[in-house]
Amino acid sequence: MRKAQNVPVPVLPEAAKANTEEGLEAFAMYWFQTLSYAYETGDLTDVQRMSAPDCGLCTNLETVLTAAWADSKWIVGGRIETPVAEGKLEVGKSSQVKVQTIQQLIEVRRADGSLFQDPTNASNRAMLVVAAFGANGWTLIDFGLIS
């Protein structure tokens, strides 16, 4: 077992640049692609750039991912797919989009390849994303599990 290599960097779709319902949905799906990239590579740059500084769950994820990649550890799995996104655009205020996220099993490995902790099971969840459109495009304000 070894670290993922040649993981493609997600590219912001043109639709995600628009202040439209389609743009909101494309942005939310892209944000989860960048989170998937962070799981696979440890690079949180784009997730942080597109997330509001006071997004609590974002901050928690950043802490967990940073720890998982510290001290020569690395993650196997964790890839996220987003087959469905359904948004509701609210012009001039925060908008919401429901996103189905399917995430692979997550294993954190030590530098020697041994398992660091018990794996996190694969999941298939509905998430609610709150985002706002501003001068720099969309920003993820917060997100959470729909129960």
Give me the pLDDT at residue 4, please: 63
pLDDT greater than 90 at residue 82 = yes
Q: How far apart are CA 33 and CA 8, in angstroms?
A: 10
Model pLDDT for residues 108-132, shown as the tens digit of each residue = 999 999 999 999 999 999 999 999 9
Helix, strand or coil, per DSSP, at residue 50: helix
Q: How far apart are CA 92 and CA 6, in angstroms?
A: 40
Model pLDDT for residues 25-64, shown as the tens digit of each residue = 999 999 999 999 999 999 999 999 999 999 999 999 999 9
Q: How far apart are CA 8 and CA 21, in angstroms?
A: 26
For 15-145, which CATH class?
alpha beta
pLDDT band at 2 (very low <50, low <70, confident <90, very high): low
> Can you name the residues that pair with 76 across neighbouring β-strands?
107
Give me the pLDDT at residue 117, please: 93
Dihedral angle at the C-alpha atoms of 80, 94, 62, 77, nearest 10 degrees? 0
